[in-house]
Every structure is written in structure tokens, then in C-alpha cells.
Amino acid sequence: MFRRRKEREDALDELDEAVESEEEPAEDAGDESEESADSRRYNLPPAPRPDGPWDVSEVREPGEGRVDLGGLFVPGVEGMELRVEVAGEAIVAATVVLRDSAVQLQAFAAPKSEGIWGEVREEIASGITQQGGVVDEVEGPLGWELRAQVPVQLPDGTNGVQLVRFVGSDGPRWFLRGVISGQGAVQPAAAGVLESVFRDTVVVRGEAPMAPRDPIVLKLPNDAQMVPDGATPEQQSKFGDGLDPMRRGPEITELH
């Protein structure tokens, strides 16, 4: 499931063991190598983001060409529909639907000096495999991502799978996760516009204390048109059910 990263870590572990064997007794090398591998996987500072996503402090005019959702400024793309999802009374995710593809965007609080995407990837992968799905970790255009076959129930009641890509980026005290579905997941090479939406998203973490992984709450723009749950099939997102095993609520709103 994690072939490429496993090969890289095995090579690094072998190098660690070779160095340690010259300095310490052989029986201690395995424990220290395992500790080193854990430290490489977790407790790492956020990776550089030369092409985004952006922190609000890094953008002069975050609202230029983007929709202001409070915690996120989402890039506007011609022909797109923008929808939001709720947990209780709070809006916690936005989904950009473009023709036959979609990307769900959700931002979370994160530790100041540590990235959490590596740990989150493993948790998502574990959850999907426990459901009987298949996950592969690859290095894609947005960095390390998961390409998954997620079990879903089809409209006719039979069981099927949905292809989904989980992408992520660690920023200063925040983490942005994207879930790409539709043709953008079936044919990743055709997902360039959705990847650009993810890259050009601006995150507004705010200064209020937040526990790591708390969702950064969003708000509706003033001109939002509410579409209640149970709208016509043309109004509902075809990427809602089964899109994300960690999703927090139904999709209820559509913006034109």
C-alpha cells in the first residue's frame, strides 16, 4: 500500500543502521533506527509551499478572484458550482464542482511547529482499508497523496467503489485537506484545474486558541442562495455520498 515511501524509508533505515553499528553495540541499533523512522514520519515542520496553498498573511488581496468563506478564500473558476457542508450549526467544508469532477476543501487547526499530513494520511488509509477499500500512496502534483477505491452503495442498492484522491498541505498552524472525486480522480492527469483550486486556496486560521485538528469554521457569502437537503437531483451534488469517510455532515448549500 505504501510501496514508494516504504522503499525510501528502508534505504534510510539501512544507512542509519550502518552508522550506528560503528558507534554502538549491534543490539541497540534496531531500536534507535525505529525511533529515527518515527521522527522522520511525525513531528516534522510543515513543508515549504512555494506554489500554495497560502496563509492569509502571504497574500496581499486574498479576496481578489476568490470567494470569501471566512476561514477559506476559494478561487473562482468559470463554470463551477460552490457548495458547503455543515456539522451541527457550523459550516466546515466547501466543495468546488466543475463539470464531472469535484474537490472538497476542509481546513483544520494544527500545531505551530509540526505538520500533520503524514499522520492524517495513515489514518485515512487505515479507515478505508478497514471498510474493504484499496489505498495507494503516491507522490503526485500536490506532493504525497492517497489514491483510494472507497466502497460505496450505488443508487440501485448494489455495492460499488468510488475512486477518490486525498491531498493535503501543512501551513502555519493549519492543515488543508482536499478530496478530489469524479473524473479528476479517475484520470488524475485531467485534474489540473482542481489542483490549481487547491493550490490557490487561502486559509485564514485566526488567532483564537484551537486544539489541533479542530475544523476551521467557514461562513456563507452574503449572496449565497440556500438549497435545502432534499433538492432535485440536478441541484444536489453527485459527489456527496461516499466521497469522504471522515466527512462531517450533509451538503446543503449551492452558490451560483
Q: What is the pLDDT of residues 154-172, one digit of tens each?
A: 888 898 999 999 999 999 9
pTM of this prediction exceeds 0.95: no
Residue 47 placed within a domain: no
Same domain, 164 and 226: yes
Q: Decide if pLDDT at 132 tops 70.
A: yes
Residue span of the structural domain in which 125 resides: 54-255
Q: How does pLDDT run across 67-96, given as a tens digit for each residue? A: 999 999 999 999 999 999 888 888 889 999
- Residues 54-68 as b or e (16 or more Cβ within 10 Å = b): bbbeebeebeeebbb
Same domain, 100 and 121: yes
Query: Residue 13 is inside which H or E element, if any?
Result: helix 3-23
More confident position, 192 or 39: 192
Same domain, 97 and 215: yes
Residue 48 placed within a domain: no
How much is the mean pLDDT over the chain? 77
Annotate 23-78 with DSSP letters as a single string.
HS-HHHHHHHHHHHHHHHHSSPPPPP-TT--EEGGG-S-TTTTEEE-SSEEEEP-T
Same domain, 13 and 131: no
Name residue, grid cell 469524479. 182
The number of residues making up the chain comes to 256
Quick one: pLDDT at residue 19?
Answer: 34
Quick one: pLDDT at residue 216?
Answer: 94
Cell numbers at residue 75, please? 478561487
For the chain, percent of residues with pLDDT exceeding 70:
68
Same domain, 240 and 179: yes
pLDDT band for position 234 (50/70/90)? very low
Same domain, 91 and 23: no
Same domain, 92 and 147: yes
Same domain, 16 and 80: no
Same domain, 18 and 102: no
Residue 167 placed within a domain: yes
Q: How does pLDDT run across 170-190, given as a tens digit for each residue? A: 999 999 999 999 999 999 888
Q: Among 220, 122, 205, which Cα is nearest to 166's?
A: 122
Structural domain total, the chain: 2
Q: Which CATH number does the domain housing residue 235 bear?
A: 2.60.120.1690
Same domain, 23 and 125: no
Quick one: pLDDT at residue 225?
Answer: 58
Quick one: pLDDT at residue 251?
Answer: 38
Report the alpha-carbon distance of residue 111 to residue 46 in Å, rounded: 10
**Cα angle 219-92-214, degrees, rounded to a multiple of 5:** 120
